[in-house]
Every structure is written in C-alpha cells, then in structure tokens.
Chain A
Amino acid sequence: MKKIILSLSFLLSVGIGSSGLIGQCNSDNFSNACIPKLAGGFNFLKSYKIDGEGGSKEKVEYSYVFTKGTQYMINICANGQATDGIVVTLFDSGRNKVASSKINGQFIAAIAYPCNATGIYYIQYTFDGSASHCGGSALGFKR
C-alpha cells in the first residue's frame, strides 16, 4: 500500500510540475482583481492579461476602438500595492503616444482618458524594472 501511495505522490508531483503550474504568471487573477478597482461610475468593458513570460517578452499589446465623448479608465494590478514596474501606454492608430501611466518617473496604477478622437487605439503594457513581469488590467468606460 505504501508503494502505491508513494507512486501516486510521484505521479501527481510529476504531473503538476510538467504542466507548469508552479511559478507561472497567473495573470487571470490579477485582471479579475482589477475589475472592482475601476473608479466609481465606470462600466467594465474588458480585462487584459499581462504576461511578460518571465522577462522574455518586452511588451504585451491589445487594441480597442475608443469613441469620442467617452471617458475610459485603464488600471494595472500586480504583486503588492504598486504596479511592479508595469507601465500602460496608449497609442493612436498612427502610433502617436496619447497617454501613459508613467509620469515624471512615477508609476501610476490607473489612467483616465477622456477620448476626443474616435479611432483604433493600441493599449501597450511594458515592464520597467519589473520583478515578476506579471499582472493584469481592466478597461472601463463612462459618458
């Protein structure tokens, strides 16, 4: 019986190890945690995973059509209270920088963007001295 239990324990540990559950970026948890952190009055639209794959990815990018007259909020959640060096930068369709969560060297956990020009925008997450390269984000809107 002891042999069977030992064999089972071995099988389970090998299974868990090879499926990569240990040490992986659980960005789903971070993005879900970000949703209730959207400021009051903002309606949830999308959640985004930020997985820098342990530093092998320089950026994670999504896109969304923002509409003139609508205010959007994008926040960042990571390990601890701060953003763990994760920066969100917004670019317009011509790749002009429109907004950033890093201002004067300060990492800010959310940006509020009252859109004045309808179009496709790129929501880009980068890692500036990040320890885990892992986080989540939520996008909300209000009019």
Chain B
Amino acid sequence: MRILAVGLIAAILTACGSGKKPDEQAFLNSLDSAKSQGPSIDEEVINSILQQIPSPLEISVLLKQSGTKYNSAILNSPDNLSKYNSNYKKALNLGIYGTDLGYTNIYQQNQDGIKYLSAIKSLADGLNIGQFFDVETIGRLANNSKNLDSLLLITTQNFNTINHYLQSQSRANLSVLLLTGGWLEAMQVTCQVAAHNPKNQDLRETIGAQKIILEQIVLLLTFYKGDENMASLLKDMDGLKATFDKIKITYTYKESTMEVVNGVSMIKDNSTTTIDITDQDIAAIKDLTNSIRNKITS
C-alpha cells in the first residue's frame, strides 16, 4: 500500500513538474534540426497576423458557386507526397493539400478527398502534429454526401487546432508555412479557373483582393528571413507582391445601417471597394504563382 501511495505522489509530482506530454516533447525534438533564427518580433504580433488570413475554403465555395466544374488536374497530386522530406516542404505542402482537401470536399469528390486526407495525415505525422487530425471521423463523413457540413466543420476545426498548437509551442514559423502553402494553392486554383473564364468579374476581383492577404503573408515571412528557406520563399513572394502592387484597390467608407431581424443584427454595408486589375496583371500573377507553387510541390 505504501509503495502504491509513494508511486501516486511521484506520478502527480512528475505530471505537475514537466507540464509536457510525451508527444509534445517528441514534436519539439523532431524540429530541432529545423530550428531557425527566432523572429525579431513579439510572437503575439505574429499570431495576431496569422489568425487574420482567411480560410482557402472561402475561395473553393466561390469557385463552385460561380458554376466552375471540378477539375482534379489543377490540384497537387497526392502522389507527390514522397517528395516532401524536409519539415519546410512538409509544412508548405500540408497547407497545399489542406486547400485541395477543402476543394474536393466542397465539390463532394469523396474518392479524391480520401487520397488527400491520407497525404495530409502522413505529412502531419511527419511534423508530429498528426494527433490533431481526426482521419477516422473525416474519412467516415467523407463517405456520405449528406455529411458535408460536418465534414467541412471538422476539417476546419482540425486545421485551426494545428495552427493554435504550433503557435502555443513557439513554432509559428511552421504555421506561417502552412498558411502560405494553403494560400498559394487557392491562388493557383483561382488563377487557373479565371484563365478559362476571363470575363468572370467575381474571379477577377477575388484575385485582385488577394493583394491585401499577400501583404500580410510577406510581412509574416519577413520575421523569419534569418532562415535560409524562409528567406528564399520571401524573395519569391516579394516578386509576386511587386506584380500585385500594380493593382489599385480603392476603399470608400460609408456608415452602415443595422436592424434586428429574428434576433440577429442584420447589417447593410454601405462601404465599397473597387479593384482595378487588367488582363495583363492576371496573366502575370498566374505565371508567377504557378512558378512559386511548382517550386514547392516538385
């Protein structure tokens, strides 16, 4: 009995002392080789910028609603998985596959979705964050088209949890890569679709509006330019930003009106933005995005 009591006390003290689960420690150890020069700015600032980057799912919904047909050829094939051996490539392509999974989900292409799910799980395991990806539940939901809402919800929640975890572990650099990869893939898909629908104003404006998000991504990458890989990516993204700089976004504020309808505050937004983007701008953005994305996926 005495041994049991001593063991219990020891267990409590050990648990209180380290504050880390074994999988967390493994995660930290595994990234030692990828340790980069730390950011020169407060992590809270980085996290606040990270959380404002919109979900690529918004673009997938736009594409489907614009009547665009599903096209798996514009996605990054899950067969490329074996090419991604460094943590840098794993994190970027985890973001890319995340966007691709969202795209297949929105179009309810479950067979393709399962392949992306498997690739995502493998990359996430490689970064020791696989425990946050509930493959079993997502796989089950993906097999029934009636579960689309739940499928989208759980997938989004899993990616949010991964990002929160990385940030809480002072590994926001991986979170930046994940979001950059996800954004690049959404851009690439949008540009490919826009090339076949040059008159689609929604798509043109969506591409132009990415200027705002790219500025935030470039800012995030700047914090990590002490790392060789991040500096190289920053250089590429800076080149893309230079192309986006030609796009003019004009914002006009006008006070909104509000009314309560069925217990919800319904807003009428009277502000406007106009986005001036030419065919040449779109072509240049498409080429550059494709080039950067190919560097990452090949």
Contact = CB atoms under 8 A, between A and B. Distances in A.
Given A116-B269, A117-B269, A119-B251, A43 B202 contact: no
Interface in B210-243: 212-213, 216
B267 A47 contact: no
Contact of B54 (A1, A67, A98, A99): A67
Interface string A64-87: 111111100100000000000000
A125 to B, nearest CB: 14
B138 to A, nearest CB: 14
B264 interface: yes
A8 interface: yes
Contacts of B249: 118
B271 interface: yes
B73 interface: no
B31 interface: no
Nearest to A41: B149
Interface string B239-275: 0000000000101110110111001111111111101
A106 B256 contact: no
Interface residues of A, number: 52
Nearest to A108: B265
A68 B53 contact: no
B245 to A, nearest CB: 16
A143 B253 contact: no
A106 B260 contact: yes
A50 interface: no
B87 interface: no
A44 B212 contact: no
A134 interface: no
Nearest to B156: A44
Nearest to A74: B265
Contacts of A66: 54
Interface of B: 1-2, 5, 8-9, 12, 16, 48, 51-55, 57-58, 61-62, 65, 149, 152-153, 156-157, 160, 202, 205-206, 209, 212-213, 216, 249, 251-253, 255-256, 258-260, 263-273, 275
